[in-house]
């Protein structure tokens, strides 16, 4: 099944009944899938919005009403959604936002890239906030993480960003889906706007004119982010135990890296992989821990160097970091990458 | 008269005027002579009379009325500047049996939120928009709005708005009337007891249009802003009737509710 379709099916099985989007390549198969499925599904709402801005605000409306809502786009469209994402964060509303990112900045191209890492993990819009950011690297992970994203969004009342790329969206892989949830059995939300029947009226707002109130709201969000940082760190490792050099890569780049590591291992080079799955919260502790045994880190990203900053922050100077990046929509082959890794390995006199 | 006598009189008195129960016991913060307070009250009265308090959800804008949720005793969800039409779309689609209305000023709806509004109308979204038009950005201090009329002085149209330099005012309601999905659009003014009652009737009709699921409904309300217009409240009322209403004529702009009802 195609990556973009996998996201759609997993979302529906997670109880998503509200999809709002705007066409942009390379994620069009997702809104198309949602339009088709929702046209036959009771309670399913699909709207092709007039803009990305409208789409994210429709998500806000459906989320206020208590629905599981989603939007998707690719890099330039995600920039347009940032105002709404800042509001989702401030209003503490659950939502799932998919970014099948592409070569940027500006209009860029439609080839796979990872250049929206900063935008996703630092919030992206105005203000002090974070999103949960998940970086899948396979069809199966697209299914699992999309499904789980809706639970995380509801549990923490936070926007969850699924950061993929054009490659993951277009790639076809076999996948096993989680069982469909029963929407009426999902945990009750006691904050939604449904009309003040049998209870006092409610309002949901982000305007806090009194700075002490706004500060308290920010600290409240901060406490939530600390809780998430403690509970939600996800990562995967490969061939870590005897490694002298550790590659850090996420998403599509991590798949290429794994192929490259297999090749250099055949030549006897002791190289391992850490693959952050939760990009925020970032697996900083793990990286710091690993640095006690192996101090050489090789960060590979399909951008000019963004996650590498998080790796350096995690190491706090306790390791040496080399960065290799391919921005603009270029996808190096595992063979190409293996040569760069090997060259770095020998330069550091590790073998 | 003794105190006892007063008490007796009070008991005999019938209460003929009180705050609608869908408004909270909170004094409005709006400037003296401002139309927001009147319009809030009218909406509150309609909500009470149509018994909607338990099934209505309001979407306040960015602008002077951003604090509307402090006054309305109903569920309300705040929108970003201009985005009420999109937010209300999501809300109403999720809760089709509730009544949803947006409350938006001229800058919110006819400048930054133009796209959201036109497309909500084109889709025939089943919510109601209360569009309060005072021809200026009030909350930010009286800048030129999309509905500032030619010749009108604002802080960003010094010497008066000119078509050549500042462009022309937008008649959004007339534009929305062209949309296939809109069914009821009326422009009223808060300039006399009679006109205030007409406004109330229009709001009630818009809510009924929504309840009958006929399509998109909007009431544009010409409203005084004495503070930014630098007029007394009475002068402001007069200015609306004699000057502003020439550019924004009051009356029913579109009403296809009858045809829609027949088609149903």
pLDDT for A147: 98
User: Is B184 a member of any domain?
Assistant: yes
pLDDT for B16: 86
Other CB atoms within 10 A of residue B19 CB? 15
pLDDT at A244 over 80: yes
CA A8 to chain centroid:
15
Residue B214 near residue B181, CB atoms below 8 Å: no
Q: Does A208 touch chain B (CB under 8 A)?
A: no
Average pLDDT, chain B: 96
What's the pLDDT tens digit per position in A315-339?
999 999 999 999 999 999 999 999 9
pLDDT at A88 over 60: yes
pLDDT at A258 over 90: yes
pLDDT for B4: 67
What is the dihedral sign for C-alpha B180, B181, B186, B190? Answer: negative
**A210 min Cα distance to partner chain B (Å):** 13
Residue B127 near residue B216, CB atoms below 8 Å: yes
**DSSP-derived 3-state class of residue A142:** helix
Would you call A59 and B54 a contact, using CB atoms and an 8 Å cutoff?
Answer: no
What's the pLDDT tens digit per position in A271-290?
999 999 999 999 999 999 99
pLDDT for A143: 98
**DSSP-derived 3-state class of residue A250:** coil
Structural domains for chain A? 3-195+218-231 (3.40.50.970), 237-347 (3.40.50.920)
User: Is B23 a member of any domain?
Assistant: no
CATH number, residue B101:
3.40.50.970
Structure tokens at B176: 């929305």
pLDDT at B11 over 80: no
Would you call A58 and B93 a contact, using CB atoms and an 8 Å cutoff?
Answer: yes
pLDDT at B1 over 90: no
- As a whole number, mean pLDDT of residues A182-209 equals 97
Greatest C-alpha distance within chain B: 70
Average pLDDT, chain A: 97
**DSSP-derived 3-state class of residue A59:** helix
Would you call B90 and A206 a contact, using CB atoms and an 8 Å cutoff?
Answer: no
pLDDT for B9: 72
Would you call A60 and B88 a contact, using CB atoms and an 8 Å cutoff?
Answer: no
What's the pLDDT tens digit per position in A49-82?
999 999 999 999 999 999 999 999 999 999 999 9
Domain extent at residue B168? 29-263
User: Is B120 a member of any domain?
Assistant: yes
pLDDT for B107: 97
Q: How far, in Å, CA of A300 to CA of A344, rounded?
A: 12
Would you call B98 and A54 a contact, using CB atoms and an 8 Å cutoff?
Answer: no
User: Is B257 a member of any domain?
Assistant: yes
- As a whole number, mean pLDDT of residues A237-241 equals 96
Residue B228 near residue B147, CB atoms below 8 Å: no
Q: How far, in Å, CA of A6 to CA of A77, rounded?
A: 21
- As a whole number, mean pLDDT of residues A293-314 equals 97
pLDDT for B7: 73
Structure tokens at A99: 């970014």
CA distances in angstroms from A29 to A32, A169, B126, listed in the order given = 5, 8, 29
Would you call B90 and A20 a contact, using CB atoms and an 8 Å cutoff?
Answer: yes
pLDDT at B2 over 80: no
pLDDT at B3 over 70: no
**DSSP-derived 3-state class of residue B156:** coil
- As a whole number, mean pLDDT of residues B28-40 equals 96
**DSSP-derived 3-state class of residue A132:** strand
Phi and psi torsions of A6, nearest 5°: -60, -45
Those residues with Cβ within 8 angstroms of residue B57's Cβ, 6 or more apart along the chain or in another chain: A193, A194, A195, B74, B75, B76, B77, B91, B95, B98, B99, B100, B101
Residues of A in contact with B93 (CB under 8 A): 18, 45, 47, 58, 61-62
Backbone conformation region of residue B183, classed left if phi is above 0, alpha if psi is from -120 to 50, else beta: alpha
- Residue identified by tokens 């009679």 is B194
pLDDT for A351: 85
Q: How far, in Å, CA of A208 to CA of A63, rounded?
A: 21
Other CB atoms within 10 A of residue A118 CB? 14
Residue A165 near residue A101, CB atoms below 8 Å: yes
Q: What is the DSSP annotation of A86-110?
A: HHHHHHT--EEEEEEEBS-STT--S
Q: How far, in Å, CA of B256 to CA of B250, rounded?
A: 18
Would you call B90 and A205 a contact, using CB atoms and an 8 Å cutoff?
Answer: no
- Domain total of chain B: 1
Cα angle B130-B211-B115, degrees, rounded to a multiple of 5: 40
**B68 min Cα distance to partner chain A (Å):** 10
Q: Does A250 touch chain B (CB under 8 A)?
A: no
**B83 min Cα distance to partner chain A (Å):** 6
Other CB atoms within 10 A of residue B18 CB? 6
Enter the pTM of the model.
Answer: 0.96
Residue A7 near residue A98, CB atoms below 8 Å: yes
Q: Which of A203, A206, A207, A213 to mutate to test the interface with B (most CBs of B within 10 A)?
A: A203
Rounded-to-10 torsion of CA B103, B106, B109, B110 = 160
Residue B23 near residue B44, CB atoms below 8 Å: yes
Residue of B nearest to A43 (CA): B94
Those residues with Cβ within 8 angstroms of residue A293's Cβ, 6 or more apart along the chain or in another chain: A243
- As a whole number, mean pLDDT of residues A251-259 equals 98
CA A244 to chain centroid:
29
């Amino acid at each position: 099944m195609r990556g973009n379709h996998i996201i759609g099916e997993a979302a529906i099985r997670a109880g998503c009944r509200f999809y709002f989007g705007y066409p942009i390549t390379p994620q069009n198969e997702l809104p198309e899938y949602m339009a088709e499925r929702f046209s036959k599904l009771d309670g399913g709402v699909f709207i092709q919005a007039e803009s990305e801005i409208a789409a994210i605000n429709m998500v806000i409306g459906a989320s206020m009403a208590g629905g599981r809502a989603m939007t998707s786009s690719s890099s330039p469209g995600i920039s347009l959604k940032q105002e709404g994402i800042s509001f989702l964060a401030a209003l503490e509303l659950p939502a799932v936002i998919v970014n099948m990112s592409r070569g940027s900045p500006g209009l860029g191209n439609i080839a796979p890239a990872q250049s929206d890492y900063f935008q996703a993990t630092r919030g992206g819009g105005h203000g002090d906030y974070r999103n949960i950011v998940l970086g899948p690297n396979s069809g199966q992970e697209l299914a699992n993480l999309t499904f789980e994203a809706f639970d995380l969004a509801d549990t923490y009342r936070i926007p969850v960003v699924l950061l993929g790329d054009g490659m993951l969206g277009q790639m076809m892989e076999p996948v096993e889906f989680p069982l469909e949830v029963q929407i009426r059995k999902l945990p009750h939300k006691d904050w939604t706007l449904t009309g003040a029947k049998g209870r006092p009226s409610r309002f949901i707002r982000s305007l806090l004119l009194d700075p002490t109130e706004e500060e308290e709201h920010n600290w409240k969000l901060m406490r939530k982010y600390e809780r998430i940082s403690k509970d939600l760190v996800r990562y995967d490792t490969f061939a870590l135990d005897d490694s002298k050099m550790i590659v850090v890569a996420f998403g599509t780049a991590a798949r290429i890296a794994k192929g490259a590591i297999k090749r250099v291992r055949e030549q006897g080079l002791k190289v391992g992989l850490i693959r952050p799955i939760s990009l925020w919260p970032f697996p900083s502790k793990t990286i710091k821990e690993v640095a006690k045994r192996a101090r050489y880190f090789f960060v590979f990203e399909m951008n000019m160097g963004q996650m590498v900053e998080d790796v350096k922050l995690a190491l706090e100077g306790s390791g040496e970091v080399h960065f290799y990046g391919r921005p603009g929509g270029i996808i190096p082959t595992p063979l190409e990458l293996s040569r760069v890794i090997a060259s770095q390995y020998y330069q550091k006199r590790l073998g | 008269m003794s105190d006892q006598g007063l008490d007796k009189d009070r008991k005999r008195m019938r209460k003929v005027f009180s705050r609608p129960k869908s408004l909270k016991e909170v004094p409005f913060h709006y400037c003296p002579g401002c139309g927001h307070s009147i319009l809030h009250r009218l909406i509150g009265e309609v909500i009470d009379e149509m018994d909607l308090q338990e099934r209505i959800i309001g979407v306040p804008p960015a602008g002077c009325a951003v604090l509307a949720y402090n006054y309305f005793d109903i569920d309300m969800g705040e929108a970003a500047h201009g985005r009420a039409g999109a937010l209300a779309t999501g809300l109403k689609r999720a809760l089709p049996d509730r009544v949803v209305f947006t409350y938006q000023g001229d800058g919110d709806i006819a400048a930054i939120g133009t796209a959201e509004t036109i497309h909500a109308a084109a889709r025939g979204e089943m919510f109601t928009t209360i569009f309060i038009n005072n021809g200026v950005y009030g909350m930010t201090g009286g800048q030129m709005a999309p509905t500032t009329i030619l010749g009108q002085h604002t802080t960003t149209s010094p010497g008066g708005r000119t078509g050549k330099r500042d462009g022309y005012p937008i008649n959004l309601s007339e534009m929305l009337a062209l949309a296939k999905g809109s069914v009821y659009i009326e422009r009223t003014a808060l300039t006399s007891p009679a006109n205030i009652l007409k406004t109330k009737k229009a709001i009630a009709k818009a809510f009924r249009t929504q309840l009958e699921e006929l399509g998109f409904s909007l009431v544009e309300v010409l409203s005084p802003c004495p503070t930014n217009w630098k007029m007394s409240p009475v002068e402001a009322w007069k200015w609306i009737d004699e000057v502003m209403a020439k550019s924004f004529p009051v009356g029913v702009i579109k009403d296809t509710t009858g045809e829609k009802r027949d088609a149903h």
